[in-house]
Every structure is written in structure tokens, then in C-alpha cells.
Amino acid sequence: MQQKILLIGGPGTGKTSVLNELIKRDYFCFPEISREVTLKAQQQGIDQMFLAQPLLFSQMLLEGREQQFIDALKSDSKLVFFDRGIPDIHAYMDYFKTEYPSIYIQKSKQYIYDKVFHFAPWKDIHETDNERYETFEGTIAIDVFLMKSYLDLGYNIINVPFGSIDERTNFVLNSIS
């Protein structure tokens, strides 16, 4: 039976670094797609699409994350890892006080992850870049909304301790087996 494993947390908390390590270890992984959506929008002259057109950005994320889930189901991999999940979308819209249609909650209830690993804000590793503009304080605030969204959906959250990429990756893998 396949396990769908989700990595959540605010921007700059180490999720992608752990996902990249899982990829190096030959696990089947789906990367975060918001950077891809953001880069495409920037190429079209929209600096921060989520801020300029939040519903369009969120719809593109929903379509992409739903497709990742469907692709995972078609896979014969026993473990599938996701960098962010469908509930992240409405968590961010709640954070930005953006009204959205009920389809986001419906899809979050339709596509269920087996385990959810939370990466807490960690000042020592937080960085901003061209696609990640959130301050550390912003990351802390977003994290509150992420946790609320997943807890409201009934998920049991597993907190990943601070440590090296190897230590964090090993923690995730050891918590699954």
C-alpha cells in the first residue's frame, strides 16, 4: 500500500532541502510548484502573482497539486513525498485574508495524505530570494495558518526537529517505518 508523505511549513524552513535529499536517496518526490508558477508569472511581467492575482495563482497551484496527487496514485512507489500539499493553498489565502470558493476545502478533504511532517520556522536557515520574499516574522505568521488548516482537517502533525539535512531526512524516514 502506498504512503503519501507530506512536508509542510512556512517559507525557508528546510522542506525543499530535505526533499532534495530524499530525491538523492532515490525516493519518489514531487517538488513545490509555487516557484514554477511564480517564475512563469515573472516572465510575463507579474512580479508577485500571489499578491497581484491571488485567486488565479491559487487556482494554478490547486491544479498542479491535484495533478501531483493523481500522478502519485498512478505510481507503483510505496512512498511518495510532496513538498507542500493542497491545504497549504487555503492556509495562505486565509493568511492574506483572501476570499475563496469552497472547492479548496473540498479538494483538501478529497485528497488525503498519510503522514504530515511539519518544519517549524528556524531563523538560522531562513533566507529570502527572488521567489521567497517573506521575512522570518512573516514565516512565523504563515506557519500558524498552515498548522490551523491541517489540524482543522484532522491531521496528526509530526514535528521535524532542527538539525542537519541528513538528520532531518533520517528523522522523516525513521518516523515512517
Q: Please state the domain count of the chain.
A: 1
Q: Which amino acid makes up residue 44? A: Q
- Report the candidate in 119, 120, 118, 121 with the shortest Cα–Cα distance to residue 136: 121
What is the model's pLDDT at position 113? Answer: 97
CATH code for the domain in which residue 42 is found = 3.40.50.300
Tens-digit pLDDT profile for residues 11-66: 888 999 999 999 999 999 999 988 777 777 777 766 665 666 778 788 888 988 99
From CA 28, how far away is CA 69, in angstroms rounded? 12
Alpha carbons 125 and 10: distance in angstroms, whole number: 12
Residue 48 has what pLDDT?
67
Q: So what's the pLDDT on residue 122?
A: 83
- Give the C-alpha separation, 150 to 85, whole Å: 10
pLDDT digits (tens, 9 = 90+) for 59-109: 888 988 999 999 999 999 999 999 999 999 999 999 989 899 999 999 999
Query: What pTM, to 2 d.p., does this model score?
Result: 0.90
Domain that holds residue 123: 3-176
Longest dimension (CA), the chain: 46
What is the tens place of the pLDDT at every residue in 129-161? 655 567 778 888 999 999 999 999 999 999 999
